[in-house]
């Protein structure tokens, strides 16, 4: 990688695009020692300093050089909404004018930040509002870690982000390198220092990337399951047509080999009359019997023009009872922030759709109405 610095102030290098290894390579390339990377990380992520001139343990010449030719740019918060339960949603604008959404969920003893990885989503899961917005591009590492930076800055000392879930807009494993670099920063002792157990990446099942993730980054893994047969999952999670359940579960079994006590979290949205029967629950028990797992049942969160309805409380309880009686760790996710459209599956942002999906959906809607 060539880090040659341009003499002009244009095309500045955004240093938030690099994890520690990337920063070390950058500083070596410009004739500095690798330890400058840890110094800069501590200033930015632990002290919250964005002005190079204030980084007093860097030489004056280096501070001047960085100020002239580098930047520490993050997406800008343009809207904040606070739900009745204390959940906060921030809309952040990127340099290209698109907008993404990030959600902070406060709980006793912890604060979880739900982070986006793409502008829109390249997949087309039918129960997810984000997926209906189409897709523009992957977020850069700076735009991903910048969500955590901006959130902690806005929260101040009163609240702290203790957990991060890559469950916002987009499919994280389709933006592999940038997401992994951002997660490295989240876990780096010289940056945010979060435990690997407190950083979770969620995927709809990009199987080759799951194997690659197991090799390079030991974070918690969550898998969007949502159906227990290929036929239904093909409809709900279309990537299943490329990577069916047999291949998906093989990749999950490979991941749990990282640790004897490791488990995969399987996310399962509860859709009335679609996937919420006792028979479905029994089929899940059979399907996951060879995968150490935790099941997270998610009440469906409605969005405009959706044809789905949330399963009844009784149906969800019956489903959980079947799993519990089979010895499976099962929780029902508490809906948070739904009054500000900050709940699971409701994030939309503002996407300049390059996939033209919004036009296809309009066409399908017109054909159904005809």
Specify whether 344 is catalytic. Answer: yes
Give the number of C-alpha atoms closer than 13 A to the C-alpha of residue 35, restricted to the C-beta side: 3
Structure tokens, 285 = 């028990």
Specify whether 80 is catalytic. Answer: no
Question: Could you give phi then psi for residue 164, rounded to 5 degrees?
Answer: -130, 135
Contacts 24+ apart (CB under 8 A), 17-24: 17/140, 17/141, 17/142, 17/181, 18/141, 18/181, 19/141, 19/181, 19/182, 19/184, 19/185, 19/188, 20/184, 20/185, 20/188, 20/190, 20/191, 21/184, 22/181
**Measured CA angle at 192 (ends 191, 198), to 5 deg:** 140
Residues 114, 193: Cα–Cα separation, whole Å = 17
Angle at which helix 141-155 crosses helix 176-187, to 10 degrees, equals 40
Going edge to edge, which strands form the sheet with 264-270? Answer: 76-82, 88-93, 99-107, 110-114, 163-166, 199-203, 220-224, 264-270, 293-299, 329-332
70, 252, 310, 344: the active-site residue:
344
24, 101, 143, 267: the active-site residue:
101
Query: Can you name the residues that pair with 90 across neighbouring β-strands?
Result: 80, 102
Sign of CA dihedral 158, 159, 160, 166: negative
**Quick one: which of 332, 348, 221 has its CA closest to 270?**
332
Look-up of token digits 């509002």: 129
Say how many C-beta atoms besides its own lie within 10 A of residue 95's C-beta.
12
Residues 187, 176: Cα–Cα separation, whole Å = 16
Residues 344, 171: Cα–Cα separation, whole Å = 14
Residues 257, 262: Cα–Cα separation, whole Å = 8
Known catalytic residues are: 101, 344
């Amino acid at each position: 990688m060539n880090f040659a610095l341009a003499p002009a102030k244009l095309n500045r290098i955004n240093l938030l695009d690099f994890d520690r290894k990337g920063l070390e390579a950058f500083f070596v390339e410009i004739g500095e020692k690798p330890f400058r990377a840890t110094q800069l990380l501590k200033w930015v992520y632990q002290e919250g300093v964005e002005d190079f001139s204030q980084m007093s343990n860097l030489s004056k010449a280096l501070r001047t050089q960085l100020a002239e030719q580098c930047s520490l740019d993050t997406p800008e918060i343009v809207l904040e909404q606070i739900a009745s339960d204390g959940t906060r949603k921030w809309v952040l604008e990127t340099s290209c004018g698109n907008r993404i959404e990030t959600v902070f969920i406060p709980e006793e003893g912890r604060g979880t930040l739900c982070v986006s990885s793409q502008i829109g989503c390249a997949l087309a899961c039918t129960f997810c509002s984000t997926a209906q917005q189409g897709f523009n591009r992957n977020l850069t590492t700076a735009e991903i870690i910048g969500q955590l930076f901006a959130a902690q800055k806005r929260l101040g000392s009163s609240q702290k982000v203790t957990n991060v879930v890559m469950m916002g807009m987009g499919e994280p494993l389709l933006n592999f390198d940038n997401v992994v670099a951002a997660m490295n920063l989240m876990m780096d002792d010289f940056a945010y220092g979060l435990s690997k157990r407190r950083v979770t990446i969620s995927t709809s099942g990009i199987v080759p990337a799951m194997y690659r993730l197991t090799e390079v980054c030991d974070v918690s893994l969550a898998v969007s399951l949502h159906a227990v047969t290929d036929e239904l999952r093909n409809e709900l999670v279309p990537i299943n047509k490329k990577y069916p359940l047999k291949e998906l579960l093989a990749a999950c079994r490979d991941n749990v080999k990282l640790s004897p006590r490791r488990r995969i979290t399987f996310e399962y949205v509860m859709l009335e009359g679609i996937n919420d029967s006792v028979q479905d629950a029994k089929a899940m028990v059979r399907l996951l019997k060879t995968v150490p797992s935790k099941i997270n049942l998610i009440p469906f969160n409605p969005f405009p023009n959706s044809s789905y309805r949330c399963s009844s409380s009784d149906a969800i309880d019956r489903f959980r009872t079947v799993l519990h009686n089979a010895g499976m760790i099962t929780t029902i996710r508490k809906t948070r922030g739904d009054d500000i459209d900050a709940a699971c599956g409701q994030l939309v942002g503002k996407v300049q759709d390059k996939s033209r999906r919004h036009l296809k959906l309009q066409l399908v809607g017109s054909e159904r109405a005809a």
